Amino acid sequence: MGKEGVIYRVAGPVVTAVGISPRMYDVILVGKEQLMGEVIKIVGDKTVIQVYEDTSGVRPGEKVVDTGQPLVAELGPGLLGSVYDGIQRPLPVLMEKMGDFIERGVTAPGLDHNLKWPFTPVVKQGDKVTEGQIIGTVPERAITHKVMVPPGINGTVDMIKAGEFTVDEIVAVIDGKEVRMMQKWAVRRGRPFAKKTAPDEPLITGQRVCDTLFPLTKGGTAAIPGGFGTGKTVTQQQLAKWSDAEIVVYIGCGERGNEMTEVLTSFPELKDPRSGKPLMNRTVLIANTSNMPVAAREASVYTGMTIAEYFRDMGLNVSLMADSTSRWAEAMREISSRLEEMPGEEGYPAYLSARLSEFYERAGSVVALSGTPGSISVVGAVSPPGGDLSEPVTQNTLRIVRVFWALDTKLRERRHFPAINWLTSYSLYSGQLDGWYKKNVAEDFPEMRNWAIGLLQKEAELQEIVQLVGSDALPDEQKLTLEITRMIREIFLQQNAYHPVDTYSPMSRQYTYLKLINRFASHAAKAVENEVSVEAIANMDLRNRLAKSKFEDNIEDILKDIADTMDKEFEALGGK
């Protein structure tokens, strides 16, 4: 242990101490119960510490100890399926120690140090290795866990052995330095990689409005802002469940306890669509609910990001959900006011946008040090007070992220879910993904998407006229436009997260739906030219079958049947 000092002043989670001379961001143990804290400011001989636990009862004169180490995450086999708090203490382990309520000053390591893992080397004695290179594998739940050379170590393998080891035991010696299966990494520092690459493959989520209209790439950044009750958490849980990333890191940052409980109870029961095993096998959950200490909430996003970077370095695609970055910003605001810093806009600290960019910048598609490509896609929920999207956290986030899924209170009132507004949302990745869609889905997929978006924008203009003069005053072509956009909205954009079939829609099916609605539109336009009434077209049985097909188990057969009979059914309508 390092130097000892004493507490000089206590202001909530911010404690000032004298008698130690630590570095910034060193971890300090505070008071009799040795509460964990982190140095956030040094003024002369006074050290200001943010404590990650409740400080009630702590008083001046109690001792503090400098550990000389920054806040680190333990990285190694055993992360998957874990549930941590904001500073990587495993909650199930703490619960065994003390029941449902966490007492103060209790710590537990992030990984299980007693469990033995079977290690198989992939290099041999005498081989030359570089930092980040894979030296062995360990089977873990849904993946093969790759053991890498820690950053900063290069040289010849002096010794490496196979067998069953704990994360503390030495498995190799490289250039005289001991290597274990576990690495420790300071959470506020990004892990190194060889180079960043331009993302060119979409993160398929199975949510039609996201995949088709506003796609996110593997290695991209997205924000979901929306007022209370618009479905941010359900949307994020859908993305966590169904996105085609290999690993999911879900950070419940300052959310209500019951929402986090829902994640904790539903994830172990959910089947992973790829492996058929529980989804929890490829998930790491970080639960820092709104009634947990504020300071740990500030650290929780860094802990989650460091774990995501570790899996990225193995060459995996990781999707990281931060729910919600607004609560994280509120934690920063609270700490900042306790430090008596000059407030910026709406009381948030002046460095708010710098911290947000720092967090989102750690996303991206990279070539890892091992030479394999990996990615981290970040989806951050933003909960603006009163649904006001002009507040600082939303505005600063929008400057950084490239996909914006705007949740809309009006759509929620109309029970249209996911309540993503197609007029205000956007994706700056659409253009660079067109090549992928043409190659992997269909040559005319970008065309179909642009047709749908164009029609939805036209509908918004027509709705203004309808509100003034009523829909009867519109000519037939425009009435038909409203009917077709209603089909796009109700059949394509609406999706039921709780229905076993409709919850996930593969890309091929999304394309089929768009293509069928497009074909229906061109047939209908011809029928209207032949003086068939728009009402007759709107009441066609074909249209109802298309709407109901979303919920049928044999959905592909029904869609094929609709495509086969569409021409005949339009012929049956007649006309002049």
How confident is the model over 463-500, as pLDDT tens digits?
988 988 888 888 999 999 999 999 999 999 999 998 98
- Give residue 257's pLDDT: 80
Give me the phi and psi of 485, to 5 degrees please: -70, -30
Map residue 529 onto helix, strand or coil. Answer: helix
Tell me the pLDDT band of 548, cut-offs 50, 70 and 90.
Answer: very high
Cis peptide before 336 (omega within 30 of 0): no
Mean pLDDT calculated for residue range 34-39: 93
- Give residue 138's pLDDT: 97
Over the chain, what is the mean pLDDT? 92
Structure tokens that stand for 4 in this block: 């000892």
Cis peptide before 77 (omega within 30 of 0): no
List, in order, residues 6 or more apart from 409 with CB less than 8 Å away.
226, 227, 229, 230, 387, 419
Q: CA of 109: how far to CAs of 96, 112, 295, in Å?
A: 14, 7, 19
Tell me the pLDDT band of 1, cut-offs 50, 70 and 90.
Answer: low
- Give residue 477's pLDDT: 93
- Give residue 298's pLDDT: 86
Q: Is residue 289 pLDDT above 80, yes or no?
A: yes
Tell me 191's DSSP state. Answer: P
- Give residue 172's pLDDT: 96
Mean pLDDT calculated for residue range 39-67: 93
CA distance 548 to 505: 14
Q: CA of 11: how far to CAs of 14, 44, 60, 335, 431, in Å?
A: 5, 19, 11, 10, 51
Structure tokens that stand for 312 in this block: 């990225």
Give the pairing type, strands 317-323 and 373-382: parallel
Q: CA of 74: how far to CAs of 213, 240, 374, 505, in Å?
A: 39, 23, 20, 37
- Give residue 452's pLDDT: 97
- Give residue 191's pLDDT: 96
Q: Is residue 575 pLDDT above 70, yes or no?
A: no
Q: CA of 160: how far to CAs of 112, 115, 133, 163, 170, in Å?
A: 22, 20, 14, 10, 9
Of 225-229, 326-330, 377-381, 505-509, which range is least confident?
Answer: 225-229
- Give residue 178's pLDDT: 95
Chain-centroid distance of CA 328 in Å reads 15
Tell me the pLDDT band of 550, cut-offs 50, 70 and 90.
Answer: very high
Residue-wise pLDDT tens digits, 62-109? 999 999 999 999 999 999 999 999 899 998 888 888 877 778 888 899
Structure tokens that stand for 504 in this block: 């996930």
Residue-wise pLDDT tens digits, 185-215? 999 999 999 999 999 999 999 999 999 999 9
DSSP lists the bridge partners of residue 146 as: 137
- Give residue 270's pLDDT: 78
Q: Is residue 576 pLDDT above 70, yes or no?
A: no
Q: Which residues of 44-54 are buried (b: 16+ CB within 10 A; e: fewer)?
A: eeebbbbbbbb
Q: Which amino acid is located at 205 in the chain?
A: T
Domains, the chain:
4-70 (2.40.30.20), 75-95+194-429 (3.40.50.300), 112-181 (2.40.50.100), 441-573 (1.10.1140.10)
Tell me the pLDDT band of 171, cut-offs 50, 70 and 90.
Answer: very high
- Give residue 123's pLDDT: 95
- Give residue 499's pLDDT: 92
CA distance 326 to 80: 26
Structure tokens that stand for 497 in this block: 């997260």
Contact of 55 with 15, CB cutoff 8 Å: yes
